C-alpha cells in the first residue's frame, strides 16, 4: 500500500522569519492513516523549519534543489549531504522551473538523483510536458524520456524515490489537469517503471500530481487512479490552505 503524500514546494518564498511563523499556524486535523506531509522551504530557511517543526514528526522537510557533487567550488549550490545534515529528508529533482528557467538537463537530473540517493535523501523526481508538447500529442514521449533519464543506472534494489507528474502548463497558472489527464499520465509512468525497474518496485513508487492544486480541487485529484499524493506550490504558502489540503490526504 503506497502512502498518500502531501508536499508543499515553497519555491522562493518564506525566509526564516516567515518559516517560523508558518508552523504554529499549520495544524491540520489528519485522517487515519495519516498522510505523509513534506514541506520544501528555500534552503536558507531549512534550519528555521527544523526548529519550528520540533515535536511534529508528521511533517518531513526537504530541499528544492541539490548539486550532484558532495562539495567543491560551486558557488551558490548545496549538496545532498548538506541538506541531510540540516534535517531534510527529501530533495526535489528536476522541477519544471529548474528545467525550463535554469536549463537543467535530463543528464543533470540523473546525476542529482544519484547524489540524493547516495547521501540518503529521498529524491522526488519531477516530470511533465509543456503545452506545446501536449498539443503535439507528445505527453507520453516526454514524460517517459524524463523518467528513463532520471532512473537510468539506478542500482538493483536502490533506495526508494517518489515521482511527481507536473504538467508545465498547469504550474502556477490556475489551470489544472483533469483527473482523467492525471490518471492517464500516472498510468503511463507506472507502466514504464514496471518495464524498466520491475513490477514490484514500480508498485511501490508514489506518484504525486502537481499543478495548481488547491483546497477546492485536491479531493478530486487524489481520487484519480494512480494519484498517490500532490505537490503543491502557491497553495502551500498559507498555513490554513495547506492544512486544508493535508486534511484531504
Count of Cβ atoms closer than 10 Å to residue 118 Cβ? 14
| Catalytic residue status for 95 | yes
Out of 67, 95, 129, 186, pick the active-site residue.
Answer: 95
Neighbours of 240 (CB within 10 A): 12
70 catalytic? Reply is no
Residue whose CB is less far from ligand PGA, 70 or 100: 100
Q: How far apart are CA 249 and CA 218, in angstroms?
A: 8
Q: From CA 82, how far away is CA 214, in angstroms rounded? A: 31
Min dist. Cβ of residue 232 to ligand PGA (A):
5
Q: How many CB atoms lie within 10 A of CB 140?
A: 16
Comparison of 172 and 198: residue with beta carbon closer to ligand PGA = 172
Going by C-alpha positions, the residue among 4, 92, 10 that lies closest to residue 49 is 10
Instruction: Report in angstroms how near the CB of residue 9 gets to ligand PGA at its nearest.
Output: 4
Residue owning grid cell 498510468 = 187
Measured from the CB atom, the residue of 90 and 201 that comes closer to ligand PGA is: 90
For the chain, count helices (H), then strands (E).
Answer: 11, 8
**Per-residue cell: 89:** 529528508
Per the residue annotation, which of 67, 129, 166, 186 is the catalytic one?
166
- Interface contacts to ligand PGA, rule CB under 6 A: 9, 166, 171-172, 210-213, 231-235
Smaller CB separation from ligand PGA, 197 or 205: 205
CB of 214 to ligand PGA, least distance (A): 8
To ligand PGA, the closest distance from the beta carbon of 157 in angstroms equals 29
Which positions are catalytic?
95, 166
Amino acid at each position: 500500500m503506497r502512502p498518500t503524500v502531501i508536499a508543499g514546494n515553497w519555491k522562493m518564498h518564506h525566509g526564516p522569519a516567515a518559516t517560523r511563523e508558518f508552523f504554529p499556524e499549520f495544524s491540520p486535523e489528519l485522517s487515519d492513516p495519516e498522510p505523509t506531509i513534506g514541506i520544501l522551504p528555500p534552503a536558507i530557511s531549512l534550519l528555521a523549519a527544523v526548529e519550528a517543526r520540533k515535536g511534529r514528526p508528521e511533517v518531513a522537510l526537504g530541499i528544492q534543489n541539490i548539486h550532484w557533487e558532495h562539495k567543491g567550488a560551486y558557488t551558490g549550490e548545496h549538496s545532498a549531504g548538506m541538506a541531510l545534515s540540516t534535517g531534510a529528508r527529501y530533495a526535489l529533482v528536476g522541477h519544471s522551473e529548474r528545467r525550463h528557467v535554469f536549463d537543467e538537463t535530463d543528464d543533470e537530473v540523473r546525476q542529482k538523483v544519484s547524489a540524493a540517493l547516495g547521501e540518503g535523501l529521498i529524491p522526488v523526481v519531477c516530470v511533465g510536458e509543456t503545452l506545446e508538447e501536449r498539443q503535439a500529442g507528445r505527453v507520453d514521449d516526454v514524460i517517459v524520456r524524463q523518467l528513463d533519464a532520471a532512473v537510468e543506472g539506478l542500482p538493483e534494489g536502490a533506495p526508494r524515490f517518489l515521482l511527481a507528474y507536473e504538467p508545465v502548463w498547469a504550474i502556477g497558472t490556475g489551470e489544472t489537469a483533469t483527473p482523467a489527464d492525471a490518471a492517464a499520465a500516472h498510468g503511463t509512468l507506472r507502466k514504464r517503471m514496471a518495464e524498466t525497474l520491475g513490477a514490484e518496485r514500480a508498485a511501490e513508487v508514489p506518484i504525486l500530481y502537481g499543478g495548481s492544486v488547491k483546497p477546492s480541487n485536491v479531493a478530486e485529484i487524489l481520487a484519480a487512479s494512480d494519484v498517490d499524493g500532490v505537490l503543491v506550490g502557491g497553495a502551500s504558502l498559507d498555513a490554513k490552505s495547506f492544512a486544508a489540503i493535508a486534511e484531504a490526504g
